Chains A and B, each alone.
Chain A
Amino acid sequence: MTTNRVAEETTTAQYRPRGRANRVLLSAVGILLAVVWIFPVYWMINSAMLPNVVLQSRTPTFAPFGGSFDNFASVIQGGTFLPALGMSVVIAIIVVGCCLLFAFLAALAISRFRFRGRKAFVLAILFIQMLPAEGLFIAQYKLMSSVHLLNTVLGVSIIYIAAVVPFTIWMLRGFVAGIPADLEEAAMVDGLSRTQAFMRITFPLLAPGLVASGVYAFLQAWNEFTVALVVLQDNADQTLPLWLRGFIQASASRAIDWGQVMAASTLVAVPVIIFFLFVQGRMTSGLVSGAVKG
């Protein structure tokens, strides 16, 4: 209960602040928060610019003065980054696309309909997420081997979709349930076609939910490690997390070049950032908030 209390009090003080002083204070808190959250990211990029020798130093080097892009260059010249990037992008697109579509349909079913087996389904998709994934790899391998999908993008994608879709359904279900069903009808009374009504009324209301679950699906597909490890046997076709982990463990007979590891990590993060920048606009765009609030 203590935690709730904290939330409550801070909220009462902060929600829709009145005075100028309050606003300034809140902005300061916001900036401080941003700095704390961004620091590890900054540290990754900073380290990526520095040579390995400097990174082992006892005094932290806070800014990459005298740093270079050498680490990035040698990582990319390694030749394995681009194929892995391609693989990860394809898988992410398949997973996000299928997940959103499947989950949207399922979310409609469970939030707009009452039917036999509904509760069972809702519970099943909830509980299925509670199974720890660490012990599943043998079964996943056997499954993929028996249907001849080992070493294929499709094999990896199928497992990812199954792992992510329960969550996406739950997330979207909340959003679909939050949209008054009458809204579209009202729009149609105003002369819009059903398609127009959906695109102009329902879809914008759903957009934040789609974006949030899409982002989640994307990140899961982007970061997942174990399934990719067992399904993709050859390090030559691998996804980015495998590629990155390979960087850290490349050699038993050589020290790890942490500068290059950080450069590699940064390269893995960049596509996510691009993806986020792309959807971020949608999440907070005036159109969406306008539609919701107007």
Chain B
Amino acid sequence: MKRKLASVTAVALASALALAGCSGTSTDTGSGASTDGKGKTITLWLVGSDTPDTLRTYLKDEFKKETGGTLDIQQQDWGNIVTKLTTALPDPNNTPDVTEMGNTQSPTFTNVGAFLDITDLYSSLGGSDLLQSFVDAGKVGDKNYTLPYYFGSRYVFMRKDIWSQAGVAVPTTLTEFNSAVATIAQKNPAGISNFSGFYLGGQDWRDGISWIFANGGDIAKQQNGKWVGSLEDAGSLKGLEQLQAIYKSASSAPNDAKDSNQYIYLNDDDAIPGATTADASTPVSLSAATIMAPGWAHWSIGTKGTADGKVTRTWDDKTFGVFALPGNDGKPAPVFAGGSNIGISAKSKNPGLSKTLLKIIFSKTYQEMLGKAGLGPANSKYTSSLGTDEFAKALIESASNSKLTPAAPGWASVESSGVLEEFFSKIKDATDLKALAKEYDAKLTPLLNAK
């Protein structure tokens, strides 16, 4: 309690200080966008290579056109962005003016006053058309600090051939999905040892959490101004029971498997070493009929072939299919949104120019460029630019009900401590799920409120 209060005051103070610092040191006005950028350079950090080069060039050209200044885009890596932001953002001489960050990282940095208050720009940049869960991740109180940059989503990838051999149809509710994948695992129509109807890694909480969400549960909730773990709530427990059933009867993924490379289990491959004679008739390494993964996984799924003397993988609509994980209420089940936020450093010496850059980023032209590059645009008015193929459909549909991690100040600690991974790995063999959930709620609560 005391800590929380202190931290709130701290945040308020920090932002006040930061703002004061800005107007004091900066040459442009600090309030409102500035277009007087002659001879000036602002720095934009983009994380990963997801933003294509054409988009980067567009940003630089537009910025030059609008302000006469130079936009220096520096690329960062996802694996180290926290370290970079931790060191550089508080340093007025070396901070990037504008930076992208993962949406789950946004609350942590926003809460300590790392970003400039851009509430005044909010409505002109898209307002309520912007993806609200991401907007919330960049909010403290009713002030906006970071805004969505782009979104991605998770959906289900299936082997149509195995599903039809097992005689199950594409599910329309989560209950149907649960029983369908169990049936496939049990029938195992391809006769492959260790076959998963639905491959769900033991530590893959980013996909598994959808079952908790879909049953009305959550990881954490706010109670009397304090964050508490809510894994033991009724909704969460119902989801956990379904997950346990999946782990027990539908998935043969190892207990410590994580949310990475699931797609390889969907591909046909080649002989299994030491296959028994019974297996010999099906010399494939295919080991799952269904997986759940971020949308981009479709690039890695397909039938093996050769083109120009190189081995390739091509998506084949007859063999593979995608759909958004269904919920039990007619809507898709809530999934974890992926994607990133963008904000102006509180220590930026060019807040006015930085705001101009944000205006360019949230312009129709740029938002549609994002969509065409397969990145979900922040502004929902432009989602149609994603196209109409099945991947775009599944992306839009699943994202329509997506959720973010709790915007708790200590969320980063939760992720880094691996406590959710550990919890999920124990679901399968738990004899008392409620006790397990209680145990981990007790571990989550202090982490969530840590500062």
Contact = CB atoms under 8 A, between A and B. Distances in A.
Contact of A253 (B79, B264, B269, B296): B296
A53 interface: yes
Nearest to B102: A252
A254 B88 contact: no
Interface range on chain A: under 10, 10 to 19, 20 to 34, or 35 or more?
20 to 34
Contacts of B193: none
Interface in A200-252: 226, 229-230, 233-236, 242, 245-246, 248-252
A250 B311 contact: no
29 contacts: A51-B312, A53-B304, A56-B269, A57-B270, A57-B285, A58-B270, A58-B273, A58-B285, A59-B273, A137-B87, A141-B87, A226-B83, A229-B80, A229-B84, A230-B84, A235-B75, A245-B80, A249-B78, A250-B77, A251-B49, A251-B50, A252-B47, A252-B48, A252-B50, A252-B152, A253-B294, A253-B295, A254-B296, A255-B261
B73 to A, nearest CB: 9
A54 B267 CA distance: 12
- 7 closest cross-chain pairs (CB), A and B: A58-B285, A141-B87, A234-B74, A235-B75, A255-B300, A253-B296, A53-B311
A229 B86 CA distance: 12
A236 B43 CA distance: 13
Nearest to A50: B311
Contacts of B96: 233
Given A51-B310, A145-B93, A229-B80, A253 B152 contact: yes
B49 A59 contact: no
Interface residues of B, number: 45
Given A70-B310, A145-B93, A233-B88, A251 B74 contact: no
Interface in B122-155: 152
Interface string A136-153: 011001000100001100
B281 interface: no
Interface in A30-49: none
B227 interface: no
Given A230-B87, A245-B77, A251-B50, A57 B152 contact: no
B269 A252 contact: no
Nearest to B375: A253
Contact of B299 (A151, A236, A245, A254): A254
